[in-house]
């Protein structure tokens, strides 16, 4: 009898352990690593990107997540240094996190592509999938295209084409200023290419490359622009480099149009203030007033929800929401977060953005295809930016079709894929 009783107790304990394990499995989250600069000169950008990603993730979770599980972001600091990003990647794979998001800095993204590819080749049972939401150098999905890398943002070529197409007929002379690394160099090259193609009437009267994050006073650069007689300054400077550039321009009273890729990002509107009003144009995925311009109640509600979190800045990277929505579609299709199955499911995946425009992940190079916009920093607008009294108003929209350029990507695919 005693032996039978002990056996019964043992069975009950085992059953309890199995039930407990099942409950734990049911509560398990889908972890996503986010590698970004959370210290150093660009820490404000890392913090802002994290707030935007969390908002997009929370929306995806509220809609049911994927496979009945919620997403969870796990952060890692790379100080916007490629070597630090690779150290962070090692921590990611050591924790068996299957998906990594890294978005800030094309120099970092280039190292991440190589690092992820090498790791996956050596560790087929512990692979990781790299989702890039804002590192923009075109080379990343061309010469450096890789099966394990998906870019959920328009590349430099698409952005520059949007900008040049949006230049007004009376713009006849421009000055180019870009940061001296992969992204800025790509912007400069594509600007020259598209000016020759679309606007051969425009003359480039000066060009400057500035070291990334090193210049604290742009007054000498502004003086060169002023002396050139340029009607417009085309710049890809972002983060503190853009903010300091605008500060110097405003202080010098530079009466010029600024065509930018980053004026709309966190800190930009504050740096511009009244001095940027009606003279700064941004190329962007979207802005906080498109919903009201379209009369789209669903979009307005989405923007209203983000602003209710009191982030202190706009939500320009609407592609973050597209990334999570497309990720949900792909995970549910794959029935798994296994990086190989997930990558195959992402190829050709489609999802509407917050404006209702369909976005597509092109299989050939893993580049997102979507429409793009230019907008003026002006007033009055429904949603002002960073309590400046100014905000963004759409000037032009370029269709997905007009931004779908041929790819030279020669992607090596895993065997059996």
In three-state secondary structure terms, 371 is coil
How far is CA 141 from each of CA 17, 88, 117, 261, rounded to the nearest angstrom?
47, 22, 14, 19
- pLDDT in the model for residue 2: 42
- pLDDT in the model for residue 415: 83
pTM of the model: 0.89
- pLDDT in the model for residue 356: 96
* Greatest Cα pair distance in the chain: 101
- The closest of 398, 401, 394 to 160, measured between CA atoms, is 398
Report how many helices (DSSP H) and strands (DSSP E) the chain contains, helices first: 13, 15
CATH fold for the domain made of 29-154+314-370: Rossmann fold (3.40.50)
Q: Tens place of pLDDT for every residue, the chain, 417 residues? A: 445 545 544 444 444 444 444 433 445 999 999 999 999 999 999 999 999 999 999 999 999 999 999 999 999 999 999 999 999 999 999 999 999 999 999 999 999 999 999 999 999 999 999 999 999 999 999 999 999 999 999 999 999 999 999 999 989 999 999 999 999 999 999 999 999 999 999 999 999 999 999 999 999 999 999 999 999 999 999 888 998 998 899 899 999 999 999 999 999 999 889 989 999 999 999 999 999 999 999 999 999 999 999 999 999 999 999 999 999 999 999 999 999 999 999 999 999 999 999 999 999 999 999 999 999 999 999 999 999 999 999 999 999 999 999 999 999 999 867
- pLDDT in the model for residue 7: 56
What's 158-284+371-403's CATH class? alpha beta
CB 271 within 8 A of CB 243: yes
Range(s) for CATH 3.40.50.2300 in the chain?
Answer: 29-154+314-370, 158-284+371-403
Angstrom distance (rounded) from CA 210 to CA 225: 14
CB 39 within 8 A of CB 78: no
The 8 Å CB, 24+ separation contacts for 51-56 are 51/309, 51/311, 52/306, 52/311, 52/315, 52/317, 52/320, 53/101, 53/133, 53/320, 55/305, 55/306, 55/309, 55/315, 55/320, 55/321, 56/320, 56/321, 56/323, 56/324
Name every residue whose Cβ is closer than 8 Å to that of residue 385 and which is 6 or more positions away in sequence. Answer: 264, 269, 288, 313, 314, 377, 391, 392
In three-state secondary structure terms, 296 is coil
Q: Which helix (H) or strand (E) holds 130?
A: strand 129-132
Angstrom distance (rounded) from CA 137 to CA 154: 9
DSSP code string of 146-158: -TTEEE-S--HHH
Name every residue whose Cβ is closer than 8 Å to that of residue 298 and which is 6 or more positions away in sequence. Answer: 291, 354, 356
Residue 297 C-alpha from the chain's centroid: 25
Q: Which helix (H) or strand (E) holds 351?
A: strand 350-352
Angstrom distance (rounded) from CA 251 to CA 136: 30
Q: Are strands 71-77 and 30-36 parallel, antiparallel or unpaired?
A: parallel
Print burial letters for 192-209: b (CB count within 10 Å at least 16), e (below 16). Answer: eebbeeebeebebbbbbe
Q: How many CA atoms lie within 13 A of 43 on its CB side?
A: 5
């Amino acid at each position: 009898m005693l032996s039978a009783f002990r056996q019964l107790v043992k069975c009950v304990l085992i059953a309890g352990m199995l039930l407990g394990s099942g409950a734990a499995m049911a509560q398990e989250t889908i972890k996503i690593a986010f590698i970004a600069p959370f210290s150093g000169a660009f820490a404000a950008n890392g913090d802002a990107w994290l707030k935007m990603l969390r908002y997009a993730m929370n929306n995806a979770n509220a809609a049911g997540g994927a496979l009945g599980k919620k997403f969870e972001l796990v952060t890692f600091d790379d100080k916007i240094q490629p070597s630090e990003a690779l150290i962070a990647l090692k921590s990611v794979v050591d924790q068996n996190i299957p998906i990594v998001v890294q978005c800030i800095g094309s120099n970092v993204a280039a190292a991440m592509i190589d690092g992820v590819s090498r790791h996956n080749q050596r560790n087929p049972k512990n692979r990781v999938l790299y989702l890039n939401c804002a590192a923009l150098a075109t080379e990343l999905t061309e010469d450096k295209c890789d099966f394990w890398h998906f870019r959920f943002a328009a590349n430099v070529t698409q952005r520059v084409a949007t900008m040049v197409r949006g230049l007004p007929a009376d713009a006849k002379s421009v000055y180019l200023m870009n940061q001296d690394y992969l992204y800025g160099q790509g912007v400069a090259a594509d600007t020259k290419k598209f000016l020759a193609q679309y606007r051969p009437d425009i003359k480039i009267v000066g060009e400057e490359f500035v070291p990334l994050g090193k210049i604290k006073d742009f007054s000498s650069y502004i003086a060169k622009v002023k002396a050139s007689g340029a009607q417009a300054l085309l710049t890809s400077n972002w983060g503190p480099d853009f903010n300091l550039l605008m500060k110097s321009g405003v202080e010098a009273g530079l009466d010029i149009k600024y065509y930018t890729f980053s004026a709309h990002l966190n800190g930009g509107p504050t740096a511009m203030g009244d001095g940027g009003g009606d003279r700064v144009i941004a190329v962007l995925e979207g802005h906080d007033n498109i919903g009201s311009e379209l009369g789209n109640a669903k979009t307005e509600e989405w923007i209203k929800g983000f602003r209710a979190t009191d982030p202190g800045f706009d939500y320009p990277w609407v592609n973050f929401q597209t990334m999570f929505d497309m990720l949900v579609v792909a995970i549910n299709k794959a029935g798994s977060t296994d990086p190989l199955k997930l990558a195959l499911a992402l190829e050709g995946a489609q999802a509407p953005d917050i404006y209702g425009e369909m976005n597509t992940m092109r299989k050939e190079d893993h580049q997102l295809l979507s429409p793009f916009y230019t907008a003026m920093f002006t007033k009055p607008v429904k949603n002002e930016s960073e309590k400046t009294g100014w905000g963004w108003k759409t000037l032009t929209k370029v269709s997905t079709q007009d931004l779908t350029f041929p790819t030279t990507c020669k992607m090596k695919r895993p065997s059996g894929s």
